[in-house]
Amino acid sequence: MPSNPRISVIMSVYNGEKYLREAIDSILNQTFPDFEFIIVNDASTDSSLKIIQSYHDKRIRVIENEENIGLTKSLNKAIKKARGEYIARQDADDISLLNRFEEQLRYLEQHPEVSLLGTSIYRIDSGGDVTGKRIALAKPTTKDMFKGNQFSHGSVMFKRQVIDNVGGYNELFRYVQDYELWLRIAKHYEVRNLTRILYKLRSHDRNVRFTNGEESALYGILAIKLAKENLEGEILEDINEKGKRSLYPYLSKNEEIVVHKARASLHVDNGNIKLAREEYRKIFSLTPFDFENDINIMRSHFGSDVMIRSSKIYEAIKNLRLYLRNWCSK
């Protein structure tokens, strides 16, 4: 085990036996070998711990939670144990390309002003087949950050010193804890993405976006309000005591639209186009000139196959726009 590794890789796993070995192998086989790999077993009840223990690589350090405490708290436990100059994330159901650390570390050393670095990603399905890609915005601005999360959580690498300065993950957040942290970091430091694809993000029926899309949207709104300091102390206390749904009375019209879009996306992912259409119509009542939503209403009448195919076209157009923006910013 390296005593002073350059990188500390942190990963939490809860009942992740199906994809865990692929995730671990993708880290241990990195072309840059100087790292420690801190894996938090969050009280898994499946064979996750046995899989972790089957590895005899000295770079692996295991933290075993006596009870399930969730991703946010588990990542903070890992950060406290980390000894590296840089911290890299990895999710237990995803795959890092083998040159990921080498590429990210090279960039961070060549650009010392940058403190947080993500990458572009492939989208893969439960079987590991590529279903699409997301081209990351190389130089996200403050405006971009407030529009939405510009980083794929599992792909990021950041300086340990930055976390010491701004604090770790906010344990009020059950979901999108990464977005809240990136907004805090971006207030004080330069943040970037590599446009090269170095990470594979897996979609399956246990992903947060398939099961808790609306809740994630509320946490995202909360993250933005905190970053903008738009929450009074008593409101935050109410949310802390009663949960994120206490935020509903304080939503602006635009924030209501975000929640409806999250609900619609969740229904599409689950194949319920009728319920998605109801959410699109609610959005229309709030903002009738949202071109994307108007298109969604029309295509929702043609069934799930058309929705899926047109979503891929939209993603291709979005990636092209990002390619052009990244090229212009060089």
Q: Determine the 3-state secondary structure of 91 from DSSP.
A: coil
Whether the CB-CB separation of 72 and 3 falls below 8 Å is answered with: no
Which of 188, 208, 228 is the endpoint of a domain?
A: 208
Whether the CB-CB separation of 46 and 68 falls below 8 Å is answered with: no
CA 20/CA 26 separation, integer angstroms: 10
| Total domains, the chain | 2
Q: Determine the 3-state secondary structure of 170 from DSSP.
A: coil
Query: Which amino acid, one-letter code, is at 57?
Result: D
Residues 199 and 220 in one domain: no
CATH number for position 136: 3.90.550.10
Which of 208, 226, 251 is the endpoint of a domain?
A: 208
Question: Is 1 within a domain?
Answer: no
Which of 208, 229, 252 is the endpoint of a domain?
A: 208
Residues 217 and 175 in one domain: no
CA 132/CA 138 separation, integer angstroms: 19
Residue 204 phi/psi, 5-degree rounding, is -155, 175
Residues 180 and 217 in one domain: no
pLDDT tens sequence across 93-105: 999 999 999 999 9
pLDDT of residue 239: 73
β-pairing, 86-89 with 157-159? antiparallel
Residues 222 and 202 in one domain: no
User: pTM of the full predicted structure?
Assistant: 0.89
Mean pLDDT, the chain, integer: 90
Residues 81 and 99 in one domain: yes
Residues 223 and 192 in one domain: no
HSE-up of residue 47 (Cα within 13 Å, Cβ side):
7
Q: How many helices and strands, by DSSP H and E, does the chain display?
A: 14, 9
Whether the CB-CB separation of 142 and 186 falls below 8 Å is answered with: yes
Domain with 116, as residue range(s), is: 7-208
| Torsion sign (Cα): 263, 265, 267, 269 | negative
In tens digits, the chain (330 residues) has pLDDT values of 557 899 999 999 999 999 999 999 999 999 999 999 999 999 999 999 999 999 999 999 999 999 999 999 999 999 999 999 999 999 999 999 999 999 999 999 999 999 999 999 999 999 999 989 999 999 999 999 998 899 999 999 999 999 999 999 999 888 999 999 999 999 999 999 999 999 999 987 665 554 567 888 888 888 998 898 876 666 777 777 777 677 788 888 988 998 888 888 878 877 788 888 999 999 999 999 998 899 889 988 887 777 777 777 878 888 898 989 999 887
Radius of gyration of the chain (CA): 20
Residue 157 phi/psi, 5-degree rounding, is -135, 135
Residues 154 and 218 in one domain: no
Q: Which two tokens stand for residue 234?
A: 């008593």
The region, left, alpha or beta by phi > 0 then psi within -120 to 50, assigned to residue 229 is left
Tell me which DSSP letter residue 136 carries.
P
Residues 158 and 18 in one domain: yes
Tell me which DSSP letter residue 113 carries.
T
Residues 184 and 289 in one domain: no
Residues 215 and 171 in one domain: no
Question: Is 2 within a domain?
Answer: no
The region, left, alpha or beta by phi > 0 then psi within -120 to 50, assigned to residue 112 is alpha
CA 98/CA 25 separation, integer angstroms: 10
Residues 78 and 189 in one domain: yes
Residues 59 and 92 in one domain: yes
